Amino acid sequence: MSLDRFAPAVFVLLWSTGWVVAKFAALHSEPFTFLSIRYALSALAFLAFCLVAKAQWPKSRATVLRAIYSGFFLHGFYLAGLWWAIANGVPAGISGIIAALQPLLTAMAAPFLVGERLQKTQQLGLALGFIGIAIAISPKLFDPAMADLSHAALPLAINLIAMGSVTYGTLYQKKHLQSGDLRTIATLQYVAALILTLPLSLIFEHQHFDGTAQAYGALLWSVFGLSMGGVGLLLYLIRRGQVSRAASLIYLMPPAVALEAFIAFGERLTLPLILGTVIVVTGVYMTNRRVVQQAQASV
C-alpha cells in the first residue's frame, strides 16, 4: 500500500534526472554507444536479479515476443531518439517540456485504441499543450546563430517522434503484458533495446566513450537509478493501473527538468521557456483532469 502511494512521486523524481544525464553523457560519449553499454549492463543487472530471486520467465513464445516488441518502443526507439536529439543541440529543459506531450499523445490515441471520446475541455487542453511547446521551442527555431533551420528542426522532430514511441510502448504494455513477472519482462525489453541501438552505434558512430569518472558516474546512474529504479517503477505503475494517478505528478516534470538543467548546465530559464512550460502543464492538466479525478474517486 505504501509503495502504491509513493511510487508515482519517486518515479517522477528519478525520471526527471534522465534528461540531465543525457545532456551530461553527451559530453563524454556518443549517444547510441552510451545507450548500448547502458542496455547491456541493464539487461545483465536484471538477469542477475531474476536469477537470485528465481523470477518466473514467460512460458509462451507470444509473451516473449510481446516483451521484446514493447522494449523496442519503450526503451529502444524512445531513448535513441531522445538522447540523439539532446546530443545534437536540443536543450535538456526544452526536451523535458516535450516529454509532457506523452499524456497528451495518450489522450489523442485513446479514441482510436479504446474508443474513448475526448471532452471539449480535453480537446482545449491538447491544443494548449502544443501551443506551449511551440512557444517554448521558438527561440531554438529562430536563433540567429542557426544558419540552417534544419539544424534545429531535425533534432526537435526526432525528439517528438521519440515521445510518440514511448507513448505507443506504454499503451502496448498496458494492453498486452498485464501478466507475467515484471523483472523477466524488463530483462527481455532491455535485450530488445540493445538489439536496436547496437547496430545504430556500429553504423553511425565511432564507439567513443572517454572512460572518465564522470562518464562512469553517468553510466552507473543510468543503469541503477534510471533503468532499474525508474523503469522498474514505471512497469510497476503500468501493471498496478496507477499511471493516471502519476499523471498529476508528471505535471511537475517540465519545470523539474528545466530547473535541474539550469543548475547543472546553466541553461537559461528564458521567458518563452517559462511561459511555454506553464501552458504545457495547464494543457496536460486539462486533458487528464477527468481521468485523475476518476482514479482518486475510486480510492
User: What pLDDT is recorded for position 285?
Assistant: 74
Average pLDDT over residues 107-131: 70
Asked whether residue 56 carries a pLDDT value surpassing 60, the answer given is yes
Are 46 and 190 in contact by the 8 Å Cβ rule? The answer is yes
Cα 257 off chain centre by: 12
User: What pLDDT is recorded for position 60?
Assistant: 92
User: What pLDDT is recorded for position 293?
Assistant: 47
Residue bearing cell 474517486: 297
In percent, the amount of the chain with pLDDT more than 90 equals 36
Residues comprising the chain, all counted: 299
User: What pLDDT is recorded for position 294?
Assistant: 45
Give the 3-state secondary structure of 61-126. HHHHHHHHHHHHHHHHHHHHHHHHHHHCCCCHHHHHHHHCHHHHHHHHHHHHHCCCCCCHHHHHHH
Cell numbers describing residue 26:
553527451
**pTM of structure:** 0.79
Which pLDDT tens digit goes with each residue over 103-117?
667 667 666 655 556
Angle between helices 253-265 and 271-297 (to 10 degrees): 140
The domain locations on the chain are 2-297
Which pLDDT tens digit goes with each residue over 30-43?
999 999 999 999 99
The whole-angstrom separation of Cα 212 and Cα 247 is 37
At residue 32, what are phi and psi to the nearest 5 degrees? -70, -35
The whole-angstrom separation of Cα 273 and Cα 266 is 14
235: amino acid identity, one letter: L
